[in-house]
Amino acid sequence: MSQDQLKQQVATVAVELVQAWLGPDDILGVGTGSTVNFFIDELEKQRVRLRGAFSSSDASTRALKEIGIEVLDSNSGERAVLYVDGADEVDTEGALIKGAGGAHTREKIVASLSESFICLVDESKVVERLGLGDFPLPVEVIPMAKALVEAQIAQLGGVPLEREGFRTDNGNLILDVEELDLSDPESVERRLNNIPGVVENGIFSGSRPSVTLVGHDCGVELRCTESIRQRHASKWNAIDVCCETLLN
């Protein structure tokens, strides 16, 4: 199967899971990126009814409005039942790297506003440890702090490179960082965010997904912890997966 076919496959299963998990009065959190675009298209095809959605980017907001889903104010004080998004890398413990599209700050906000997080990836995004894939680590930075942040990232062992001609929806720049040791992603996530001028980095260790759906040629693999599996066992009956993997 092509990568787009794998993305379509996991998007279809994700919408089946959304229909089992959410009712018409619930709020859905929606991420950003190519896999999410397939997911939004599938929401329309399956005529999913929701009260509305929290969106993580201007692009996703436009796509949701085009299919008739109301985009709600994230400052309303309400919470989403589910957040659905893709990832650039996912390790064997469920930690992620996100931000190839530069929306990771808003994505992390919407994930934090949601009770559960479903991550959608194809098998090429699965790595033994973060940093072993093809994606650098994105760091959103306030422009006036660029030189300061670059110097402090270098002290941590990273090699930062500004993403040319790009600004986030928040008006900030992105530094794509290579060669950082990400064997302890939770620690690196905190250390980067403690640098003055850093808005947010693309490590999702504290905001790991509750469920990860992985697209393979043979079908969709479901990854979650045993506690999540037991808590939501009835929902798995509504989806078609080829296998399940329990995480620690």
SS3 36: helix
Residues 106 and 4: their CA atoms lie apart, in Å, by 25
**Distance between CA atoms of 147 and 243, rounded to whole angstroms?**
47
Distance CA 244, CA 109 (A): 28
Q: Which of 16, 42, 89, 107 is catalytic?
A: 107
Is residue 217 classed as helix, strand or coil in its secondary structure? coil
Helix, strand or coil for residue 101?
A: coil
Whether residue 107 contacts residue 98, with contact meaning beta carbons closer than 8 Å, is answered with yes
Listed in sequence order, the residues at least 6 apart from 73 whose beta carbon sits closer than 8 Å to its beta carbon are: none
107 a catalytic residue: yes
User: How many residues belong to the chain?
Assistant: 248
Q: State the catalytic residues.
A: 107
